[in-house]
Each structure stands twice: as C-alpha cells, then as structure tokens.
Amino acid sequence: MERKQLERAGATYTYLRGLLAIPGGLMIVVAALGNWEVPPLDITAVFLVVFLAAALSALPIQRYYNENYGRLTQTAKHGWLTVLQIVLTVALVVGASLLLRSRMSWSLDLPVNPIAIGVALAALLSYVIGVGLKRHHVMIWGALLVIGAVPLWNGADPSNIGLLLAGFAVILNGVLDHRAFVRTFGPAGALEPKDSDAGA
C-alpha cells in the first residue's frame, strides 16, 4: 500500500466510525426536548442521565471497533486537525447564532435558523478537512443547511428546532458513516487472521 492510501485509510478509520456519533446525536435531541420541557421532568436530571448513558454506551462501541478493526493511533497532524475542527465548529455555530439572528445591534436579524446553518456548515467543513465529503455528507448536511437558510423562520427564536434537526442529522449521518466504514474495511471481524494464517 502506498503512503497516500495508508493516510486515506487512517482518515477513514478515524472519521467514519459512525456508531460513536449516535449517542451524541441522542444527547442533542434530549437537550432540544428538554428546552421544550418534554418530558415535564427536571431536565437537568434527565440530561445528566442521558449524558451518562451516552458516555457509557460509547465504551462498548469503541470496543467493537477496536476488536473488529484494530486500533489506530492518531498522528500529531491528525490531533491538530481535530483541535482545528472543534474550534471551527464552535466558531461557526456561535458565530452564525450571533451574526444571523440575535439581539445584538450589529446582528443581521434574518428569518433563518442559525443553529441549523451553523451546525451544517461546521459538519461539512469538518469532513472536508478530515476524510473528504461523501455523498451522504452532502445530502444530510446540505439538506440541513438549506432548511436552515430558507427565509421562513419568522417569529420566535427557532434555534431549538435547529438543535433538534441537528441531533437527528448527527444520528443519520453516524449510521451512514458506519455503513461507509464497513464498505471500506469489510464486515466486522473481516480483518482477523484466518485459522490457516495462525501459525505463519
């Protein structure tokens, strides 16, 4: 395998382990529902329980990838790319919220959904930097971007709806990322040595 192929495989392994995104997407959905007080419980307690469950569910998911596909240690370059992606994500989501629709005097105050726009742009940029855009990335995050940019979001602040849509997009994207991952590396256990290779 050439160096570029190895780097591409490493990026695919790092960015397309989509099952790890599902707990995060569920947390976003729960946060949005909590803002609406659905269910009518103490949202802090509910969110903490969901957060703990999501964090714990990531452990067996990580083990699944490690046991079936091996481990990969990130290079310093990938570590810095991850930091860059986090900074850009925060900047885009917060920046979109403040610039497009806020109570600030310099805000454009457009009838758009700033959370949907910010999250969609952040996700698209993250994949461009990381593994490259796949068709499902363009479809999911492009759809969220279009939904957020349609100038029909008049009235009350639509950020919570944007948060809910973003949570569902993260979950769907995670499922399709995992599918792309399996297409790249084969089904679970496909990389394990065969019995005939055991003594080699």
**pLDDT digit string (tens) for 122-170?**
999 999 988 889 999 999 999 999 999 999 888 787 889 999 999 999 9
Confidence of residue 40 (pLDDT cuts 50, 70, 90): low
Distance in angstroms (rounded) separating the CA atoms of residues 94 and 111: 17
Distance in angstroms (rounded) separating the CA atoms of residues 156 and 188: 47
Alpha helices by DSSP H, listed for 70-134, are 76-100, 114-129
Asked, as a colleague might, if the bond just before 193 is cis with ω within 30 of 0, I would say no
Domain boundaries, the chain: 3-189
Distance in angstroms (rounded) separating the CA atoms of residues 39 and 69: 39
Confidence of residue 71 (pLDDT cuts 50, 70, 90): confident
Average pLDDT, the chain: 83
Report whether pLDDT(42) > 70: no
